[in-house]
Amino acid sequence: MIKIGFGNSIKPKTFGYIPRFYDPDKEELKERLKKYQEPASEEEAIDQMKKRIKTGIRFKHYGDSTSRSSYARKSNIRVFYIIFILGVLSYILLSSNKITSLIEAFSK
């Protein structure tokens, strides 16, 4: 019978398949070995290239934390130098009389 109204709706059964014999290490090993085999067709070569790009992006994102922290430290030092130099330049420009004379020249 059809249920009409705002009450509890009938929910479909979910498919909960859990494989009995699944070894993620074995799957990873197969993928790594497949990467070094010669592709049989052009489609396989394209698939291998896509997988290489995916793994490269994944490993770059989850790469070595020490190298990432050293890059971040270098970047922060560079930003500090830039801010310091801009601050000194702005102090020199604002403390000189040339800015006030330039403003007076434009206001006339």
Per-residue pLDDT, averaged over 57-77, amounts to 78
Say what the pLDDT of residue 70 is: 86
Token representation of residue 1: 């019978």
φ, ψ of residue 94 in degrees (nearest 5): -75, -25
Convert the pLDDT of each residue in 29-43 to its tens digit.
Answer: 887 787 777 777 888
Query: Quick check: helix, strand or coil at residue 40?
Result: coil
Convert the pLDDT of each residue in 77-87 to its tens digit.
Answer: 999 999 999 99
Per-residue pLDDT, averaged over 58-86, amounts to 84
Q: Do 73 and 67 form a contact (C-beta atoms < 8 A)?
A: no
For the stretch 88-104, what's the b/e string if a residue is b when 16 or more beta carbons lie within 10 angstroms of its beta carbon?
eeeeeeeeeeeeeeeee
Report the candidate in 22, 57, 51, 28 with the shortest Cα–Cα distance to residue 39.
51
Per-residue pLDDT, averaged over 51-68, amounts to 72
CA 31 to chain centre: 23
In the chain, the percentage of residues whose pLDDT exceeds 90 is: 16
Is pLDDT above 90 for 56? no
Where does residue 5 fall: left (phi above 0), alpha (psi -120 to 50 degrees), or beta otherwise?
A: left
The residues spanned by each domain of the chain are 25-63, 70-108
Say what the pLDDT of residue 57 is: 75
Eight-state DSSP code of residue 21:
S
Mean model confidence pLDDT for the chain: 81
Say what the pLDDT of residue 5 is: 62
Say what the pLDDT of residue 59 is: 67
